[in-house]
């Protein structure tokens, strides 16, 4: 591809010296697990989110699983989330032992439709996991109000929204607890796997600190039945470098998104909707088209990489048929899956690439 969908080496080269120096520092420290780098990163990232506590873990999936376990959600409980998400959201709920209840999304923002939330709640429902998909916060005000009314815990899945905000408040600080992934493609990405849970609740943070390491309060003595899910020192050191550059990187993402908005405005593709009062951080720039597959093929023919997030809704995937949702059950989600297309957008995207993508879409739509 001459216009790749994403270029992770280019992202590394942007801050190569600082990252290399951070790696060297860890290599020479002799401390590779749960040392100063993780402790400092947890403080710095929690502050970035406007929360008091952060607990580094091995992945975004583990962050969700351990957040639910810290809330004491497990077998016999239900957790509401969306089917229009990375499969990890639903997988983590199942790993906790709880049953996922899947609801449809709002067609404008592709995030959990609050109008459908109350009707999905049963006496067994313990929590709701809104996903801030593509970098845009879910509509948290009504979600929080309904959750409070029904005594549900709110776990924000922020894996795609580092640095986004809702009505002036950063994501991660809106619910009871929030989870982030540092998978390399995310807005804040490690050079490997990583995740974090943030919260303002000291009790939950304390439980998470035990759960991520065998339930140890003191070494070799498990106070809780725990797990092994630790963020490592190398990733934490790299993430500390990248966290310093995240606000500027998100600004670039927003500028690129604005350029797509302006240049695609007269073409027959549906552009992403940005809810007023929210700061969208464009983890992905997702357009919609009735002719999505033909458009993607046309762009591929011009050497332009695109992707679909996600082509098969979770409830339609073979592993999740047993959740009992028939096709047709979540009409907005199912329609989106056939229409969405993610265009190239990343902070180090070379000048001119975006204009080439726009020209190729124009050619597809108008023949010019
Ligand atoms: C990436 C992602 C996850 C999972 O994170 P991992 O670090 O890959 O385990 C969870 N939820 C959403 C919405 C994601 O995009």
pLDDT exceeds cutoff 90 at 126: yes
pLDDT in tens, 284-332: 999 999 999 999 999 999 999 999 999 999 999 999 999 999 889 999 9
Confidence of residue 227 (pLDDT cuts 50, 70, 90): very high
Are residues 250 and 193 part of one domain? Answer: no
Range of the domain at 326: 246-366
The radius of gyration of the chain's CA atoms, rounded to the nearest angstrom, is 21
Are residues 195 and 89 part of one domain? Answer: yes
Are residues 288 and 157 part of one domain? Answer: no
CA of 194 to the centre of ligand 1 (A): 10
| Single residue among 219, 240, 261 that ends a domain in this structure | 240
Q: Is 82 in the pocket of ligand 1 (CB under 6 A)?
A: no
pLDDT exceeds cutoff 70 at 159: yes
In terms of C-beta density within 10 A (0-12 exposed, 13-18 middle, 19 or more buried), how is residue 216 classed? middle
Are residues 271 and 215 part of one domain? Answer: no
Quick check: bond before 127 cis, omega within 30? no
pLDDT given for residue 122 in this prediction: 98
Q: What is the mean pLDDT of residues 178-190?
A: 98
Q: Cα(53)–Cα(46) distance, rounded to whole angstroms?
A: 6
Q: Is residue 3 part of a domain?
A: no
pLDDT given for residue 367 in this prediction: 84
CA of 65 to the centre of ligand 1 (A): 11
Q: Is 144 in the pocket of ligand 1 (CB under 6 A)?
A: no
pLDDT in tens, 186-203: 999 999 999 999 999 999
Nearest to 74 by CA among 55, 43, 97, 40: 97
Are residues 278 and 142 part of one domain? Answer: no
Confidence of residue 148 (pLDDT cuts 50, 70, 90): very high
Q: What is the mean pLDDT of residues 190-219?
A: 97
| Single residue among 214, 240, 266 that ends a domain in this structure | 240
Q: Is residue 2 part of a domain?
A: no
| Single residue among 205, 240, 275 that ends a domain in this structure | 240
Q: What is the mean pLDDT of residues 247-274?
A: 98
Are residues 350 and 269 part of one domain? Answer: yes
Element (H, E) at 246: helix 233-264
pLDDT exceeds cutoff 90 at 170: yes
Q: Is residue 1 part of a domain?
A: no
CA of 158 to the centre of ligand 1 (A): 9
- Domain of residue 188, CATH code: 3.40.640.10
Q: Is 135 in the pocket of ligand 1 (CB under 6 A)?
A: no
Confidence of residue 74 (pLDDT cuts 50, 70, 90): very high
Ligand 1: which residue has its CA nearest to atom 5?
A: 60
Q: Is 88 in the pocket of ligand 1 (CB under 6 A)?
A: yes
Q: Is 233 in the pocket of ligand 1 (CB under 6 A)?
A: no
CA of 330 to the centre of ligand 1 (A): 21
Count of structural domains, the chain: 2
Are residues 235 and 258 part of one domain? Answer: no
Q: Is 181 in the pocket of ligand 1 (CB under 6 A)?
A: yes
Ligand 1: which residue has its CA nearest to atom 6?
A: 60
Q: Is residue 89 part of a domain?
A: yes
Is this prediction's pTM over 0.75? yes
Q: What is the mean pLDDT of residues 211-219?
A: 96
pLDDT exceeds cutoff 90 at 351: yes
Are residues 269 and 221 part of one domain? Answer: no
CA of 284 to the centre of ligand 1 (A): 14
The best mutation among 64, 94, 135, 183 to test binding of ligand 1, ranked by most ligand atoms within 8 Å of the C-beta, falls on 183
Are residues 260 and 232 part of one domain? Answer: no
- Domain of residue 311, CATH code: 3.90.1150.10
Query: Residue 228: how many CB atoms within 10 A of its CB?
Result: 11
Are residues 146 and 21 part of one domain? Answer: yes
Are residues 279 and 187 part of one domain? Answer: no
Q: Cα(13)–Cα(18) distance, rounded to whole angstroms?
A: 10
pLDDT given for residue 123 in this prediction: 98
For helices 353-366 and 292-301, give the axis angle rounded to 10 degrees: 130
pLDDT given for residue 1 in this prediction: 67
Percentage of the chain modeled with pLDDT above 70: 100
Are residues 265 and 207 part of one domain? Answer: no
Q: Cα(158)–Cα(169) distance, rounded to whole angstroms?
A: 13
CA of 89 to the centre of ligand 1 (A): 7
pLDDT given for residue 327 in this prediction: 86
Nearest to 84 by CA among 131, 143, 27: 131
Q: Is 89 in the pocket of ligand 1 (CB under 6 A)?
A: yes
pLDDT exceeds cutoff 80 at 233: yes
Q: Is residue 121 part of a domain?
A: yes
Q: Is residue 177 part of a domain?
A: yes
Confidence of residue 58 (pLDDT cuts 50, 70, 90): very high
CA of 59 to the centre of ligand 1 (A): 8
The two three-digit tokens of residue 198, written as one number: 């943030």
Q: Cα(182)–Cα(157) distance, rounded to whole angstroms?
A: 12
């Amino acid at each position: 591809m001459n216009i790749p969908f994403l270029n992770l080496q280019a992202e590394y080269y942007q801050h190569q010296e600082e990252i290399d120096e951070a790696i060297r520092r860890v290599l020479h420290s002799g401390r590779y697990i749960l040392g100063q780098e993780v402790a400092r990163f947890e403080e710095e990232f929690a502050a970035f989110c406007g929360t008091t506590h952060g607990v580094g873990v091995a992945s975004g999936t583990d962050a969700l699983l351990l957040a639910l376990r810290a809330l004491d959600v497990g077998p016999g409980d239900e957790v509401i989330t969306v089917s229009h998400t990375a499969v990890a959201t639903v997988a983590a709920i199942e790993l906790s032992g709880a049953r996922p209840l899947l609801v449809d999304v709002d067609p404008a923002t592709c995030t959990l439709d609050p109008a459908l939330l109350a009707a999905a709640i049963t006496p067994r429902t313990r929590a709701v996991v809104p996903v801030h998909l593509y970098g845009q916060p879910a509509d948290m005000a009504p979600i929080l109000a309904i959750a409070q009314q029904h005594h549900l815990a709110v776990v924000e899945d922020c894996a795609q929204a580092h640095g986004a905000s809702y009505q002036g408040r950063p994501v991660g600080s809106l619910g009871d607890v929030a989870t982030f992934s540092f998978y390399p493609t995310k807005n804040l990405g490690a050079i490997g796997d990583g995740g974090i849970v943030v919260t303002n609740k000291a009790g939950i943070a304390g439980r998470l600190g035990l759960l991520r390491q065998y339930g140890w309060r003191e070494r070799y003595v498990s106070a809780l039945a725990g797990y092994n899910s630790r963020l490592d020192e190398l990733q934490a050191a790299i993430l500390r470098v990248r966290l310093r550059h995240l606000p500027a990187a998100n600004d670039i993402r927003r500028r690129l998104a604005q350029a797509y908005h302006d240049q695609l405005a007269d073409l027959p593709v549906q552009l992403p909707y940005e809810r007023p009062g929210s700061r969208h951080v464009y983890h992905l720039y997702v357009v919609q088209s009735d002719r999505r597959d033909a458009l993607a093929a046309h762009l591929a023919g011009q050497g332009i990489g695109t992707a679909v997030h996600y082509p098969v809704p979770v409830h339609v995937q073979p592993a999740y048929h047993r959740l009992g949702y028939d096709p047709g059950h979540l009409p907005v989600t199912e329609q989106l899956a056939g229409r969405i297309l993610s265009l190239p957008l990343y902070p180090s995207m070379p000048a001119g690439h975006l204009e080439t993508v726009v020209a190729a879409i124009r050619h597809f739509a108008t023949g010019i």
